[in-house]
Each structure stands twice: as structure tokens, then as C-alpha cells.
Structure 1
């Protein structure tokens, strides 16, 4: 599985790989744990949180000792991005999917772009 970023005009979007090592947090327990208690994540890693519907979704960095980039999506379209600081970061956005990446990995991702999970 890989995660790609599609940007540019909708009829001629360019595609960049965001991550080749992707985990999907499907269960409530996996989603509640997120990246807590990990010491680090690889540069080419993403943790994806799929939800049944779009709603306001919060992220916190409690017990996460490294910065991350967070991306909120509705139907694969980016609705918000934010760099979250270790331990104290907090973010929210409307989403049916949230993606957590290493800090700097979502540098070129902007609201309105697409982020797509590929098998």
C-alpha cells in the first residue's frame, strides 16, 4: 500500500508519493493509540485513520515524542494540514480520513489537493 499526493489543476494533476510504508488504523483501539508510545517513525511512513463519515476530528500529541504532519481529508480532498509539535500539539479539521506523516512529509500538500491511498 502507498499514499500519493495529487496536486495541480484537476484535469492535469501531478502525483507524488507521500509514503510507501502505510498502516491503516481501522479499530477504535488502533485509532485511540495512534502514534502514542512510539519513539519514532520511518521517513516513508504514514498512519491512516478512516472514518465512516465526515465530521470534525481532533488530533493530540499526548505521549508522542516527535513532531508530525497531519492531513485531514474528505473524499480524498485535503481540508486542512498542520504540523503538530511533540507532546503538546493539537489540531482539528473536518475529515472522513486523517493521515499522520513524519514532520516535513506533507510540506507541499495544500487545501484542495488530493491524497489517495493506493493498493
Structure 2
């Protein structure tokens, strides 16, 4: 599995899916680091306001909120205290810096 920007740029090749309530609640908490080519995908199935936090995450994250593969918002969240919200049917977390150049309205595919 991989995450690809509509420009053809591969954003991540090591992709995990947080599908259950427990894995979605835990997210990246308690991990010491993640690889540079990593993404954690939260597929929700329907659009709603989705919040992401970095409580117990000791490194910064780039976060992308998607509706039907279209970027609604991106944010870089600070370690330990970052928080962001947006309408989405999927949210993807990456290492900070991954989403440089990705803007609202772009398409991101999870292949």
C-alpha cells in the first residue's frame, strides 16, 4: 500500500490503517518515532468533523483531512500538544514535512 499525491509524488510507502475503535483511539501515541516514508490512515467511511491530537506523541506530525480523496485541510501538529479539526471521511498522519507543497483541493490516493 502507498499514499500518492495527484502530482505523482509518493508520500508514503509504509502505510498502516487504523480501522478499529482501539487503533483509532491510540493512533501514534506511545511510539518513539516513525519512518520517513510512513503514513497512518484513519478511514471513517462518512464525512464528519474529525479531531486529531498529539497527546503522548513525542514528534511533530503532518496531518491531512480528506473527503473523497480531496484535501480539505493540512496541518503540522506540534509534539505533545498539537490539535486540529476538519470535516473528513479519512485522515492521514505523516512525519512532519511530508505534506510540504500539498494544498487544499489537491487529490491524495491511498493505493
Equivalence for 1:61: 54
Equivalence for 2:26: 33
Q: What is the total number of aligned residue pairs between the two structures? A: 111
Q: Runs in 1 of length 4+ with deviation above 3 angstroms? A: none
Q: Give 1:108 shift.
A: 1.2
Q: Distance in 2 between matches of 1:79 and 1:36?
A: 24
Structure 1: where are the runs of 5+ without partners?
A: 7-13
Structure 2: where are the runs of 5+ without partners?
A: none
Equivalence for 1:74: 67
Question: Any idea what the Cα deviations from partners look like across 1:45-82, whole Å, max 9, x if unmatched?
Answer: 00000002001100111000000000000000000000
RMSD value, Cα: 0.5
Secondary structure (helix, strand or coil) at the match of 2:58 reads coil
Equivalence for 1:11: none
Equivalence for 1:9: none
Q: Distance in 2 between matches of 1:18 and 1:52?
A: 22
Q: Equivalent residues in 2 for 1:1-119 (5 A)?
A: 1-6=1-6, 14-118=7-111
Instruction: Give the alignment's TM-score, normalised by structure 2.
Output: 0.99
Secondary structure (helix, strand or coil) at the match of 1:15 reads coil
User: Which of 1 and 2 has greater Rg?
Assistant: 1
